[in-house]
Structure 1
Amino acid sequence: MDRLLLRTVPRLKEQWRGAEPATVEKIERISGRPLPSFYRWFLLRMGNSMGPLAYPTLDFSAARVLSCYGKKLVQPDPRFLLIAYESDEMMPLHLFYDFNAPARDDAMVTSREARGKELTDSFETLREMLAWGALSLFRVDRAAHTSSGSLRGNTPDFLTNLDPVMSSLGFEQPISTGRFCRLYERPDAVMVCRGTPRSGTGNRRAFDLGGASLGSLRRILGEIASARVVELQVKK
Structure 2
Amino acid sequence: MQNYIEYASSFDPRITSRIRGVEPGRIAVFEKLVGRPLPASYRAFLEVMGADDGGLNITVDGTASIDDLIAYYREELKPGVWEPPPDTIIIGVGSISLPEIGLLCAANEEPRVVFVTNKQVLGPYAASLEKLLFRLVFGCYRMNQEPKAFYTSSYESIGRKHVLAQARDLSVSLGFAALEFSDDVSFSGEKPGAAISISQYAKEGMSMVITANRQEEVDRIGAVFVQNFNVRKV
Which of the numbers 102, 121, 124 marks the counterpart of 2:123? 121
Where does the alignment leave 5 or more consecutive residues of structure 2 unmatched?
none
Question: CA–CA distance in 2 between the matches of 1:104 and 1:211?
Answer: 37
Q: Which amino acid in 1 is paired with 2:110?
A: D
Question: CA–CA distance in 2 between the matches of 1:196 and 1:224?
Answer: 18
Question: CA–CA distance in 2 between the matches of 1:156 and 1:191?
Answer: 13
Large movers: runs of 4+ above 6 Å: 151-156, 222-226
Does 1:64 pair with 2:68? Answer: yes
Q: Deviations over 1:110-162 (max 9, x none)?
A: 143xxx45654351343344333333333334422314246899987446634
Cα offset for 1:85? 2.5
Secondary structure class of the residue paired with 1:133: helix
Q: Which amino acid in 2 is paired with 1:146?
A: A
* Map of 1:139 onto structure 2: 142
* Map of 1:81 onto structure 2: 89
Q: Deviations over 1:61-97 (max 9, x none)?
A: 112212222x331246543322122165xx7943333
Which of the numbers 101, 110, 124 marks the counterpart of 1:95? 101
8 Å Cα contact 1:145/1:210 also seen in 2: yes
Question: CA–CA distance in 2 between the matches of 1:46 and 1:58?
Answer: 15
Question: CA–CA distance in 2 between the matches of 1:34 and 1:162?
Answer: 41
* Map of 2:186 onto structure 1: 181
8 Å Cα contact 1:103/1:124 also seen in 2: no
Cα offset for 1:15? 0.7
Pairwise CA RMSD? 3.7
8 Å Cα contact 1:38/1:127 also seen in 2: yes
Q: Deviations over 1:157-176 (max 9, x none)?
A: 4466346435x44x451x33
8 Å Cα contact 1:111/1:122 also seen in 2: no
TM-score (norm 2): 0.71
8 Å Cα contact 2:20/2:49 also seen in 1: yes
1:215-226 residue pairs with structure 2 within 5 A?
215-221=216-222
CA pair 32-107 structure 1, distance change in 2 beyond 3 A: farther
* Map of 2:34 onto structure 1: 31
Cα offset for 1:47? 0.4
